[in-house]
């Protein structure tokens, strides 16, 4: 096969990735002020724990691992992805707002028409609220997994769920498109109604997804996997209107309208994408995400899948970021004829 033909195939697969909702997730720091027991930390070595099942500490360590990539590297990769026509970039961590220089970092972004989203726990939102709304930031996805202060301490290692809620509301009032992300598990299912009450009161959008498995520990979920069907039953009981559903990378997605709020429910039990990349994977039955997004971070590794650590690849800092991104996403998507959506709860 000629180089030109191979290049065309990569672009075609990149286009499919985009069309199906694929994301480029860029972790800009490996530090966080929380210690959520289910945190996948974008596949980076987590300085706050040694095991996915370790009991969260009340005061998580704030150790910073020496970054393998500079800010210049991160900005160059973001620009390369945008130049390719990537639909969305998610800036993650760790906790991005734990960077004291996060505002200048965001102001320097060059991402063209690519939608740029900041994923945050919102505890340090003052760093965004202290300056005018940033034109380089299209939306904020703020985590709110419980409104219960005891659960917030025990499961997330934090001390003030109310502060999170106040900051999320303030970010919306500051002019940011703001969505609440709610990771569903046996630990917080009973608190969903309180989260729903909050988003309705503040006229926020909501995204619900079962915990994303990044460990093959048999008790990763701290109990049985919770089917998001239970959330949809609650939405129907509240009078939500069904809008649409579709198969996307990362899982089957159903959209509901409830008052002024849009609620997205991702359910891998109804469908998650498997491709050539998944062939021979020993944990594919337990996968909590399927093919979803390309991850990269300050640790200097491209990660097509959180569970397939054998698929992690070092970033070549002297090579073309454009070519490396195309190669990685092409390998993730594989041949169209072998791609399939599979259903069933993760094992």
Tens digit of pLDDT for each residue in 144-178? 999 999 999 999 999 999 999 999 999 999 999 99
pLDDT band at 302 (very low <50, low <70, confident <90, very high): very high
Asked if 101 and 75 count as a contact pair (C-beta separation under 8 A), the reply is: no
Q: Would you state the structure tokens that stand for residue 315, as one six-digit string? A: 């970033």
The pTM assigned to this predicted structure is 0.93
| Rounded Cα–Cα distance for residues 124 and 75 (Å) | 22
Residues 103-117: pLDDT tens digits? 999 999 999 999 999
Residues 18, 37: Cα–Cα separation, whole Å: 31
In percent, how much of the chain has pLDDT > 70? 93
Instruction: Assess contact for 296 and 254: CB atoms under 8 A.
Output: no
The residue written with tokens 């979920």 in the block is: 221
pLDDT per residue over 308-332, tens digit each? 899 999 999 999 999 999 999 999 9
Q: Domain spanning 3-342 has what CATH number?
A: 3.20.20.70
pLDDT at position 283 is 80
Looking at residue 281, its pLDDT comes to: 87
pLDDT (0 to 100) of residue 51: 43
Domain extent listing, the chain: 3-342
């Amino acid at each position: 096969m000629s180089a030109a033909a191979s290049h065309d195939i990569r672009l075609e697969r990149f286009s499919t990735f985009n069309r199906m909702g694929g994301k480029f997730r860029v972790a800009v720091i490996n530090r966080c002020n929380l210690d959520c027991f289910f945190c996948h930390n974008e596949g980076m070595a987590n300085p706050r724990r040694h095991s996915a099942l370790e009991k969260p500490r009340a005061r998580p360590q704030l150790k910073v691992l020496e970054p393998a990539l500079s800010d210049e590297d991160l900005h160059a990769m973001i620009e390369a992805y945008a130049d390719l026509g990537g639909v969305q970039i998610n800036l993650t961590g760790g906790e991005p707002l734990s960077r004291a220089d996060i505002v200048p970092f965001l102001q320097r972004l060059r991402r063209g028409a690519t939608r740029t989203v900041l994923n945050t726990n919102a505890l340090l939102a003052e760093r965004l609220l202290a300056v005018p709304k940033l034109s380089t930031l299209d939306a904020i996805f703020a985590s709110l997994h419980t409104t219960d202060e005891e659960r917030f301490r025990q499961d997330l290692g934090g001390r003030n769920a109310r502060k999170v809620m106040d900051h999320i509301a303030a970010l919306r009032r500051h002019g940011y498109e703001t969505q609440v992300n709610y990771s569903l598990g046996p630990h917080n299912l009973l608190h969903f109604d309180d989260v729903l009450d909050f988003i309705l009161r503040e006229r926020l959008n909501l995204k619900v997804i079962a915990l994303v498995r990044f460990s093959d520990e048999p008790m990763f979920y701290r109990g049985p996997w919770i089917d998001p069907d239970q959330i949809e039953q609650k939405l129907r009981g509240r009078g939500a209107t069904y809008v649409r559903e579709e198969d996307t990378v990362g899982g089957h997605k159903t959209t509901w309208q409830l008052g002024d709020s849009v609620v997205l429910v991702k359910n891998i039990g109804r469908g998650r994408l498997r491709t050539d990349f998944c062939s021979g994977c020993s944990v594919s039955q337990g996968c909590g995400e399927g093919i979803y997004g390309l991850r990269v971070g300050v640790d200097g590794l491209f990660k097509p899948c959180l569970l397939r650590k054998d698929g992690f690849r070092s970033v070549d800092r002297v090579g073309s970021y454009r070519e490396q991104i195309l190669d990685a996403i092409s390998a993730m998507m594989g041949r169209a004829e072998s791609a399939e959506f599979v259903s069933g709860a993760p094992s």
